[in-house]
Amino acid sequence: KIRLAIFASGTGSNALNIIQYFKTSDVVEIGFVLSNKQDAKIVNAAREQGVEVVVVSNQEVEAAGKLVDLCRENAIDYIILAGFLRKIPEQLIGLYPDRIINIHPSLLPKYGGKGMYGANVHKAVLENKEKVSGITIHFVNTEFDKGEIIAQFQCVVDEGETLESLQHKIHLLEHANFPNVIKNTIVS
């Protein structure tokens, strides 16, 4: 089977959705979930699904060694970033060229780069009165948010859209599309 590691920092709704999607797959399986936050919701949620969870410190993420060892020991083929809000160390990117897939809550190259993550993105989209927003699924390279785009999906930003309503729309778009795009990208 093709083995995935999922990195997540927060609620982990995408991570959980991916776990559930591949639960009965004959082709893809989850090796482990990695989080840089002990109290992230995903830590318990993934464990409840019977998935191994590893919690690391931000220093360990930066130092890369532990991440590299974990991926090697678990024979990981692809790394999925599902709301992982730390920079991926170059050493890991070097070991997994075109094998790290990120989801970003905007239509890149718009609203990408430093400081642009999670709710910050939606705030900026609303402030600029954008009429459309969406999500980008892309490979990770050493240039932040600039790796090759695999797929994008759009949604309308309505009159009177709020931060919460936009965030909800984007999450629905992510849940509907991310697992499937992962599958189509890694299973040839």
113 among annotated binding-site residues: no
CB of 86 to ligand GAR, least distance (A): 10
Which amino acid appears at position 99 of this protein? R
Q: Can you say how many angstroms the Cα of residue 84 is from the centroid of all Cα atoms in its chain?
A: 6
Residues 147-186 that bind ligand GAR (CB under 6 A): 170-171, 174
CB of 28 to ligand GAR, least distance (A): 18
102 among annotated binding-site residues: yes
**Closer to ligand GAR by Cβ: residue 78 or 136:** 136
CB of 173 to ligand GAR, least distance (A): 9
Residues 47-86 that bind ligand GAR (CB under 6 A): 82-83
**Closer to ligand GAR by Cβ: residue 99 or 104:** 104
What H or E segment, with its residue span, contains residue 176?
Answer: helix 163-186
| Active-site annotation holds for 138 | no
Q: Is 136 in the site for ligand GAR (CB under 6 A)?
A: no
Q: Which of 99, 104, 138, 169 binds ligand GAR (CB under 6 A)?
A: 104
Structural contact between residues 13 and 175, judged by C-beta atoms closer than 8 angstroms:
yes
Q: Spell 144-183 as b/e; 16+ CB within 10 A means b.
A: ebebeebebbebebeeebeeeebbebbbebbbebbbebbb
14 among annotated binding-site residues: yes
Q: Is 89 in the site for ligand GAR (CB under 6 A)?
A: no
CB of 83 to ligand GAR, least distance (A): 3
Q: Which candidate, 115, 77, 81, 122, places its Cα nearest to that of 95?
A: 77
Q: Is 117 in the site for ligand GAR (CB under 6 A)?
A: yes
Q: Which of 7, 14, 30, 80 binds ligand GAR (CB under 6 A)?
A: 14
Long-range CB pairs of 152-160, under 8 A, 24+ apart, other chains included = 152/107, 152/108, 153/177, 154/107, 156/131, 156/132, 157/125, 157/126, 157/130, 157/131, 157/132, 157/133
β-strands 28-35, 132-139 pairing: unpaired
Active site residues: 104
Using CB under 6 A as the criterion, which residues of the chain lie in contact with ligand GAR when the complex forms?
8, 10-15, 82-83, 103-105, 117-118, 170-171, 174
